[in-house]
Structure 1
Amino acid sequence: MDKLELAVRTFCRWLEANHPGITTFANVTRDHCLGWIGHIAEAPTEKTGKPLGVMSRIQRISGLSQFFRDTALWQYPDVPGHTLIGAGDAPKFPLKVPRFIPDDELDQLMPAIDAIACPFQRAALLVARWSGARRTEIQRLPMDCLDRYPDGTARLRLSGRKTYKERVVPLHADAATALQQAIYLRRNAPERPFTDERTGEEIRYLFMSHGKLLSTFYLFETAIQDACKAAGLVRPGGRAGTGRGTVSAHRFRHTVGTQLAERGAKLHTIMKVLGHTSVSMALVYAQISDQEVLRDYKAVLGPGATIAGPAADELRNGSLPDTAVDWLTTNFFKTELELGRCLRLPAEGPCECDLYLTCAKFVTTPEYAPRLRARREVEQTLALDAAQRGWEREVERHRCTSDRIDKLLADLGQPAHPEEEAENTSP
């Protein structure tokens, strides 16, 4: 049952119970729709005894809105003829950071997955781990889904289920080996090809048994729960109080996207691997991870941080008020400049200049030393050029900037020349 059918069915049941006099959609008004929206936000459901979640309500409202929109476009009789509700009537869904699997949990989980007895479950989870493919895409992999690039790297072909676009992604050797074993077991299967209901292609599916597709519940949910319990990644709950795994199979997709972004993959690459059709979907992963935030935050605001600049003394002696510290903590990554950070507070109003090398609110860390040295070389080159042209004031300006950078590097305990740094770090 799709979201439109489900939305219209639940709306009609509510109308029947609360407005029995309405016998045609032509008599439905916006007030009726708003009343139904309020009802689904509060009424308990039969399955859980709790009201629908935010995402479920958004889907119901979107489905009903689509029904009114489509029937108006198709000029059906006995309908309102226009949309009665829109996206603004739906609750807002909070944007969440993708829940990737931390490295330490992956190290515990992967041996448990490798030990799964069923070759199809093992192959499905390993493909999910290393490809980032959706569960339904893996469930419907064809028998000829695996081949290789010219250099020998395994290549996985994913059919266009959700986006109607086939894509090809590299595949880790562990996943390719497990997938090849599953293909070998199914090579002599007698069943005829199935017609894919979306693409219309004749396909021999890989994950099948007794003429039927193996369910995603068997391939992923059952297998990942067993692996989590074997690895000790369990939280309270589950059936019979035996606990429930802390990792879901879908988190492998988030993990692949996050790892690609953190290791410098291009946005187009993330879109290609994950099968995203819009940049906004891939941009979810192209953000600073919590570990990156923690490292840079400690570099400036953590105890014992090595810092320089006019604002450094205020940080060292703890003279900043609590409100200032709270603001800096919340907005830390909005303060980054080319060569350091600005600690100007909102109460001080907007900055009137861009001269952050002499600004009283500027602070920098050893992390910026290479860029400071590069800027110093630029200023010295510009000073020489100005001297050749006879521009004395320009010479003075560039030399002042170079001297200021020298002082910042000295305060940070960093050499002014790259070759000095190489000598200091050489064994």
Structure 2
Amino acid sequence: MDEKLYLIDLDCYARAEENQKKRVKESHCFDFGLLPTKGLQKEFRSFVENRSRQCALATMIQERVLYQRFCRMVKDKHIRAERLQELEWEQWLLKIRSWILEHGQKLTMQGINVYGKEKTVPSSLITYVRKAYQFTEAKEERDEIEKDIWKLENLDIAYKKNPIKNVQTLNFTVIIQDDLREETKKAVYEHLHHEAIATIIKELTAIRRLSRYLKETYPQIHSAEELNRELLEEYLTYLVTEAEGVNNYRMDLTRLRGLLETIGKLYRYPHLEILFLASDLPRQVQPKLKSYSDSELIRFNAALAELDEQMERLMVIHQMLGTRISDTLTLQTDCLYRQDGHPMIQIRQMKTTTFVKPISAELELLIEKAIEYSKKRYGDTVYIFVDEKNSKRPMQYNTVQNKVMDLIQKKDLRDDHGELFGFGTHMFRHVYGIRLTELHLDDWTIAKLLGHTSVKNVKFYRKMSLQIIADETREIRAEMSRMIRANLAGWGKEYEQI
């Protein structure tokens, strides 16, 4: 086996732009001879080759430096393991942390999320080695469902994928109690047969929060069997008064209840099926629907020219169609057709059903340009907007989010209240719905153009339209009052006589 793997020979190098390739010297490589055993050398070669198929060249340049730091740590700590899995992850973590501190480096670093806010993240070395560890764990002979981190593609079931969010694993390691972790794994496996992956992730978030609470408050509890009504009521109080990071209590509790009820059925813990009362779930509050003002749309759309041409088309098409972002990203290349000479589009909604609606000639031309761009660059594809790393997949949600948020921060784009714009793609749909109500269309027509199967949500768009009119009227009346007061200045008693 060749001990060196050069960056110029990696898959990501062939895909990279010329300006990225210029950053790489011919001598830049992953030197596996720096590792002490043949087993580790083989594992890291497989890991690096796998990463090069998934990641950009810029990422691999950074990971080469992290790999070299890992090799120095292994040498300094006199580690002679043949496989990463010979040590538990906690053992690796202790050794890495110890080495980092010995070299005067920090265990954590400040990162920036897509909204420009700071967050604390582990050292990049810890994150890199964790990825390698998880990669080798997937190679083990154990059944996937016995592991604490599931690689979804290795499961023997057809689960409901989300094509615009690349969820590859489910992580159970944060569930602290061993018995509760195994019970949760079995319940999640059952739910994967009929629930969307996004729902599964929310269920895991809910059970992890309960697990942390049990560790701090009831460390003697290890299984869901030991849960009771009194404990649940204390947990509900904790969620309302002390817990952080819970954005939607009703959803969190609904997911937790569903998971615990399934555990109760599978393990014959009948009390779990009647643990929750209907009154435990807070009433569902209709959120205040937001939309962009005309001035906000003008500012936002003027900045879109800074994006690459296909991303710019995506954002404009998204606004003109009034679809969910998931439905825009999964538009297929055969979506356009003609009916009695008028352009029509077929939209396959991820959440509900397929529907068709008429579009303008200008929008038809823009979509045709987007199809032509993808065909020229990627050949025949299923989707109009495709993932650059894998043209069989639609463009990923995170890709759009990152590029748009980078633009917002770079151009310092702010709303009418002086706040930075967020990634509010659904607000474009709200604008579209409001515009339809202002055309004085009936409820059924509006519902069909939005892709709804009923008219029950149309009232919210009508309410938003009336609210906008009221706000604008209030502003005009206030301005008129200011003008009148200014003109009356100095009239004094004479005005009173009039």
TM-score by length of 2: 0.48
What per-residue deviation string (whole Å, max 9, x for no partner) do you get for residues 186-219 of structure 1?
A: 21566787xxxxxxxxx44532213154322332
Q: Are 1:221 and 1:249, in contact at CA under 8 Å, matched by a contact in 2? A: no
Correspondence for 2:53:
none
What per-residue deviation string (whole Å, max 9, x for no partner) do you get for residues 210-248 of structure 1?
A: 3154322332553366268659535899xxxxx732673
Separation in 2, partners of 1:83, 1:279 = 35
Separation in 1, partners of 2:290, 2:208 = 34
- Look up the equivalent residue of 1:250 and give its one-letter code: H
Q: State which of 443, 446, 451 in structure 2 corresponds to 1:275.
A: 451
Superposition deviation, residue 295 in structure 1: 7.5
The answer to whether the aligner puts 1:17 opposite 2:194 as a matched pair is no
> SS at the partner of 1:156?
strand
Separation in 2, partners of 1:25, 1:146 = 52
Distance change (3 Å), C-alpha of 1:14 and 1:226? same
Distance change (3 Å), C-alpha of 1:179 and 1:299? closer
Identity of aligned residues (%): 19
Correspondence for 1:209:
388
> SS at the partner of 2:407?
helix
Q: Are 1:132 and 1:257, in contact at CA under 8 Å, matched by a contact in 2? A: yes
Q: Are 1:234 and 1:246, in contact at CA under 8 Å, matched by a contact in 2? A: no
Q: State which of 164, 170, 176 in structure 1 corresponds to 2:364.
A: 176
- Look up the equivalent residue of 2:358 and give its one-letter code: P
Q: Are 2:327 and 2:347, in contact at CA under 8 Å, matched by a contact in 1? A: yes
Separation in 2, partners of 1:65, 1:79 = 13
The answer to whether the aligner puts 1:293 opposite 2:470 as a matched pair is yes
Q: State which of 460, 463, 474 in structure 2 corresponds to 1:284.
A: 460
Q: Are 1:160 and 1:166, in contact at CA under 8 Å, matched by a contact in 2? A: yes
The answer to whether the aligner puts 1:5 opposite 2:204 as a matched pair is yes
1:154-165 matches, within 5 Å, as 155-163=344-352, 165=353
The answer to whether the aligner puts 1:66 opposite 2:258 as a matched pair is yes
What per-residue deviation string (whole Å, max 9, x for no partner) do you get for residues 300-343 of structure 1?
A: 99999xxxxxxxxxxxxxxxxxxxxxxxxxxxxxxxxxxxxxxx
> SS at the partner of 1:158?
strand
- Look up the equivalent residue of 1:61 and give its one-letter code: L
Distance change (3 Å), C-alpha of 1:281 and 1:34? farther
Separation in 2, partners of 1:282, 1:86 = 32
Correspondence for 1:83:
274
The answer to whether the aligner puts 1:112 opposite 2:303 as a matched pair is yes
Distance change (3 Å), C-alpha of 1:172 and 1:85? farther
Separation in 1, partners of 2:479, 2:404 = 42
> SS at the partner of 1:147?
strand
- Look up the equivalent residue of 1:217 and give its one-letter code: N
Separation in 1, partners of 2:414, 2:292 = 11
- Look up the equivalent residue of 1:82 and give its one-letter code: E
Correspondence for 1:136:
326
Superposition deviation, residue 76 in structure 1: 4.2
Separation in 2, partners of 1:91, 1:255 = 30
1:10-409 matches, within 5 Å, as 10-43=209-242, 51-55=244-248, 57-71=249-263, 74=265, 76-86=267-277, 88-92=279-283, 94-113=285-304, 115-153=305-343, 155-163=344-352, 165-188=353-376, 203-204=382-383, 206-211=385-390, 213-220=394-401, 222-223=403-404, 226=407, 230=411, 232-233=413-414, 244-245=420-421, 248-287=424-463, 289-293=466-470
Q: Are 1:7 and 1:60, in contact at CA under 8 Å, matched by a contact in 2? A: yes
Separation in 1, partners of 2:375, 2:359 = 21
Distance change (3 Å), C-alpha of 1:262 and 1:122? same
Separation in 1, partners of 2:338, 2:401 = 25
Separation in 1, partners of 2:372, 2:324 = 23
Separation in 2, partners of 1:95, 1:249 = 19
List runs of 5+ in structure 2 lacking aligned partners: 1-199, 482-498
Q: Are 2:371 and 2:384, in contact at CA under 8 Å, matched by a contact in 1? A: no
How many pairs are equivalent?
279
> SS at the partner of 2:271?
coil
What per-residue deviation string (whole Å, max 9, x for no partner) do you get for residues 43-67 of structure 1?
A: 46xxxxxx22442x32211101222
Q: Are 2:434 and 2:462, in contact at CA under 8 Å, matched by a contact in 1? A: yes
Distance change (3 Å), C-alpha of 1:219 and 1:146? farther
Distance change (3 Å), C-alpha of 1:17 and 1:227? closer
> SS at the partner of 1:244?
coil
Identify the structure with bigger relative contact order (alpha carbons < 8 Å, sequence gap 6+). 1
Separation in 2, partners of 1:6, 1:295 = 42
Q: Are 2:401 and 2:423, in contact at CA under 8 Å, matched by a contact in 1? A: no
- Look up the equivalent residue of 1:132 and give its one-letter code: G
Bigger proportion of residues as helix: 2
Distance change (3 Å), C-alpha of 1:298 and 1:142? closer
Distance change (3 Å), C-alpha of 1:67 and 1:253? same
Separation in 2, partners of 1:83, 1:109 = 50
Q: Are 2:385 and 2:395, in contact at CA under 8 Å, matched by a contact in 1? A: no
Distance change (3 Å), C-alpha of 1:300 and 1:234? closer
> SS at the partner of 1:289?
helix
Q: Are 1:145 and 1:157, in contact at CA under 8 Å, matched by a contact in 2? A: yes
Superposition deviation, residue 294 in structure 1: 5.3
Separation in 2, partners of 1:205, 1:300 = 48
> SS at the partner of 1:265?
coil
List runs of 5+ in structure 1 lacking aligned partners: 45-50, 194-202, 238-242, 305-427
Separation in 2, partners of 1:264, 1:139 = 30
> SS at the partner of 1:2?
helix
Superposition deviation, residue 132 in structure 1: 1.5
Question: What is the alpha-carbon root mean square deviation over aligned residues?
Answer: 3.8
> SS at the partner of 1:208?
coil
- Look up the equivalent residue of 2:470 and give its one-letter code: V
- Look up the equivalent residue of 2:312 and give its one-letter code: R
Q: Are 1:75 and 1:81, in contact at CA under 8 Å, matched by a contact in 2? A: no
Distance change (3 Å), C-alpha of 1:273 and 1:2? farther
Separation in 2, partners of 1:226, 1:33 = 45
